[in-house]
């Protein structure tokens, strides 16, 4: 079980920095590098759900401060925003 969550964390950190949109790569990779290693399984699942979003939608929620919609997504968007001081 520990190996599985460690693999998921490494994968999430990689995905955060390799999305394709440079602005999101920077925002998400800085957050991921600082926070993912300390996440429990539920928090990691929330972050993975955020990473599954399409770039235009995620960019709007993070950068233009549009209110996100979804189950766990708003909480994670708020955490990333707070990390960057938005």
Residues in CB range of 20: below 8 A, 6 or more apart: 55
For the cut 70, the answer to whether the pLDDT of residue 1 exceeds it is no
pLDDT of 2: 66
Give tens-digit pLDDT for 16-51: 999 889 999 999 999 999 999 999 999 999 999 999
Give tens-digit pLDDT for 61-76: 888 877 887 777 888 9
pLDDT of 64: 84
Q: Which domain holds residue 57?
A: 2-84
Q: What is the dihedral of CA 53, 58, 84, 47, to 10 degrees?
A: -10
Total structural domains in the chain?
1
Find the CATH number of the domain harbouring 7. 1.10.150.250
pLDDT of 8: 97
Mean predicted lDDT score pLDDT of the chain: 91
- What value, to the nearest 5°, has the Cα angle with vertex 13 and ends 11 and 18? 90
CB 63 within 8 A of CB 22: no
């Amino acid at each position: 079980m520990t190996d599985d969550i460690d693999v998921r964390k490494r994968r999430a950190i990689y995905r955060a920095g390799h999305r394709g949109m440079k602005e999101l790569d920077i925002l998400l990779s800085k957050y991921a590098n600082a926070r993912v290693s300390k996440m429990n399984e539920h928090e990691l699942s929330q972050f993975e759900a955020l990473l599954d979003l399409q770039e235009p939608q995620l960019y709007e929620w993070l950068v233009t401060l549009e209110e996100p919609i979804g189950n766990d997504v708003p909480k994670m968007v708020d955490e990333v925003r707070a990390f960057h001081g938005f």
